[in-house]
Every structure is written in structure tokens, then in C-alpha cells.
Structure 1
Amino acid sequence: MAQHNELGKKGEQIAIEFLIEKGYSILEKNYRYLKAEVDIIAQKADVLAVVEVKTRSTDYFGNPEEFVNPKKIKLLISAIDNYVVEKDLDVEVRFDIIAIIHKKEITIEHLKDAFLHF
């Protein structure tokens, strides 16, 4: 497996542990719909958190969350629309980004309602 793929998988595991620690239930990991893949679908109370995890080894080229582009956002929205209908859920949906910088120390930033800023 390529080094960036390993870093991404490590980041997703860190994000899952972080969310569980914050009281979220993990419903899905790597949910796929058409061309979209949702890293994590989690729930806390009546909020469905759709989480895109971005992991980098450095912030030299920018913060991890800056690498979520409008095309990715559109794919995530269509995937979660399908998920909510498929599971017949009545929840508030929120799109979050968990940005992780994995150097000597791990820095985690949880950006709630992240797509409102795009």
C-alpha cells in the first residue's frame, strides 16, 4: 500500500477514536455510493455527522481541510442523500471535516458544519 494511503487509513482510525471519545456512534466507515465515498457517518443524538477526514504529514502545502473541493462536496451530498433515504432516517444532517496533521505529534481539528464556509 502506498505511504499516503497508509497515512489516510491511520487518519481515519484516529478520527473514529476521536469521535467515539466525543460521544458519537459510528454508523458507517467508507460508505460508497456511485462515485462518492464518505469516510465516516456518525450519529450523536439526532444529528447525523457526515465526516470527511483529511490527513497530512505536514501543513507545508496548506491545512488539510483546504483539500476538500466543490466536486467532493457535491459527491458527498448526493451520497448522504441516498443514505438517509435508504435507511429511512429522520435526522439533522451536518457535514464535518476532521483535519489531522500527523507529524511527531498528532494535531486534530474538528470543523463542524464545514461546508457552510465554502
Structure 2
Amino acid sequence: MHIRGISRDLLDLLLSIGKEQHPHEFAGVLREEEGVIRELNLLPGTTSNEHSARLFLDMMPLDTHIAGSAHSHPNGVMIPSDADLSFFPRVGGRFHCIVGFPYEAGDWRFFSADGTPVDLEVVE
């Protein structure tokens, strides 16, 4: 699957959820449709606190359209932590989004599973 971008609506939703959950983290699974990341799946059993969010991976959908993950960093540091680098490959997909405080328009980044920054177009 070739992914060319993320929808503006989904990106706005991720930033809004980050702001709403602050100072706790949130985490979810990203899904693509026709080459655009358009959906966020919040898995049952997910827990979060001020330092982490944990997905219950047994609740992952069996889906060939999983694009990666999204989660927040309430501290505003939008660089994958060691825990993130362990988490990304377990979720699967090639695109992992971090949104950070203060959750404004530019407070997001995408990374590959190994932590390399990835540029994605925002699709209206």
C-alpha cells in the first residue's frame, strides 16, 4: 500500500484528543483508505497516565489497512522515546504520529518504526 498523506480532519482530531487528554497521553491505531490515513481506532483496554499510554494489542483489528499508530507526548517533546521505538514495530504499519503539547497546528510529527522522521502531506 502506498500512503501519500493524512487527512486534515484526522490530524485535527489527533491534536484535539491530545489537548482533551492532557496531561495524560493517548494512543491509537491509524488506518488508511485509498492511500490516505483517515481513521483512528481506539482499542478497548487502553490505559494511560501522565507518562505513558498502553494499548491492549490483543484488541487490534485484523486489517490490512493498518498504517501505524498515533499517540501524544504531553511534555511537548516530539521525538520517539525508547518505549516508542519498542512499541512502533509491535503495532505494525510504517507511519507513527506523535502529537505534542500545546497541540496546535504544527505540533505533530511522523516517524517510521525505527524512529526516522517521515514527511507526510496533509490532504484536505
* Structure-2-length-normalised TM-score: 0.39
* Structure-1-length-normalised TM-score: 0.41
Name the structure with the higher helix share.
1
